[in-house]
Amino acid sequence: MIVVTTPTGQIGRRLVHRLRTGGSKVKVVVRNAGRLDDDVREQVDVVEGSHDDPAVLDAALPGAEALFWLVPPNPAAASAEAHYLAFARAGREAVRRHAVGHVVAVSSAGHGWPRPAGVLSAAFAMDAELRKSGAAYRAVSPPFYLENLLGQLPAIRERGVFTLTCAADQPLATIATRDVADTAAGLLADLSWTGQAEVPVFGPDRLTPDGMAEVLSEELGRTVRYDRVAVADFAAMRRSQGASERVVADAAEMFAAQDEGIYDRDWASATITATSFRTWCREVLRPAF
Angle at 24 between CA 198 and CA 69, to 5 degrees: 35
Q: Who contacts 249 (Cβ-Cβ below 8 Å, separation ≥6)?
A: 116, 118
Closer residue to ligand NAP, CB minimum distance, 200 or 221: 200
Closer residue to ligand NAP, CB minimum distance, 76 or 240: 76
In the complex, least distance from residue 201 CB atom to ligand NAP, rounded to whole angstroms: 10
Closer residue to ligand NAP, CB minimum distance, 99 or 229: 229
* Cα distance between residue 57 and residue 29, in whole Å: 8
In the complex, least distance from residue 10 CB atom to ligand NAP, rounded to whole angstroms: 4
Helix axes 177-189, 10-21, angle to 10 degrees: 40
In the complex, least distance from residue 273 CB atom to ligand NAP, rounded to whole angstroms: 13
In the complex, least distance from residue 53 CB atom to ligand NAP, rounded to whole angstroms: 8
Which of 200, 235, 177, 180 lies closest to 109 in space, CA to CA?
A: 200
In the complex, least distance from residue 130 CB atom to ligand NAP, rounded to whole angstroms: 12
In the complex, least distance from residue 60 CB atom to ligand NAP, rounded to whole angstroms: 12
Q: Who contacts 268 (Cβ-Cβ below 8 Å, separation ≥6)?
A: none
Closer residue to ligand NAP, CB minimum distance, 6 or 24: 6
Closer residue to ligand NAP, CB minimum distance, 64 or 200: 200
Closer residue to ligand NAP, CB minimum distance, 145 or 289: 145
* Cα distance between residue 13 and residue 5, in whole Å: 10
H or E segment and range at residue 185: helix 177-189
Which of 40, 173, 36, 33 lies closest to 110 in space, CA to CA?
A: 173
Closer residue to ligand NAP, CB minimum distance, 218 or 260: 260
Contact residues for ligand NAP, defined by CB under 6 A: 6, 8-12, 31-32, 35, 50-51, 70-73, 106, 108, 123, 142, 144-145, 148, 177
In the complex, least distance from residue 172 CB atom to ligand NAP, rounded to whole angstroms: 11
What is the residue-wise DSSP string for 69-126?
A: E-PPP-TTSS-HHHHHHHHHHHHHHHHHHTT--EEEEE--S-TT-SS--THHHHHHHH
Cβ-closest residue to ligand NAP? 9
DSSP code of residue 285:
I
Let me know: does 61 contact 98? Beta carbons within 8 Å. Answer: yes
